[in-house]
Amino acid sequence: KNEVEQSPQNLTAQEGEFITINCSYSVGISALHWLQQHPGGGIVSLFMLSSGKKKHGRLIATINIQEKHSSLHITASHPRDSAVYICAVSGRGGSEKLVFGKGTKLTVNP
């Protein structure tokens, strides 16, 4: 069993829809990261969180430490949001190594 599980693997939405991507992990962590991989392959960090909730524009990330679960929400989705969204966790060892989920491929149609 992978340490980090994401669902769904693939997600297709219509423009304007509310999107939720889920991430569950099985190990103790110091932080959880949400990353976005563009169709061209580049990876950018969206959020890093260890508790509660963070918001940036139309993106919201939440984490429940007790349930070992995080969600990434996209409000008013747009075709430019089409990308692979990756959940990753960093452990407590101090080296900030990341363990990644397999990603969720999101396609937003106009």
Residue ranges in contact with another protein by CB under 8 A: 2, 4, 30-31, 33, 35, 41-45, 48, 50, 86, 88, 90, 94-103
- Is 40 or 110 the residue whose CB approaches another protein more closely? 40
Which residue matches tokens 């990753």? Answer: 88
Which residue matches tokens 């599980």? Answer: 5
> Closest separation between CB of residue 88 and another protein, Å?
8
| Whole-number Å distance between alpha carbons of 59 and 73 | 6
Instruction: Return the number of other C-beta atoms located less than 10 Å from residue 5's C-beta.
Output: 15
- Is 2 or 26 the residue whose CB approaches another protein more closely? 2
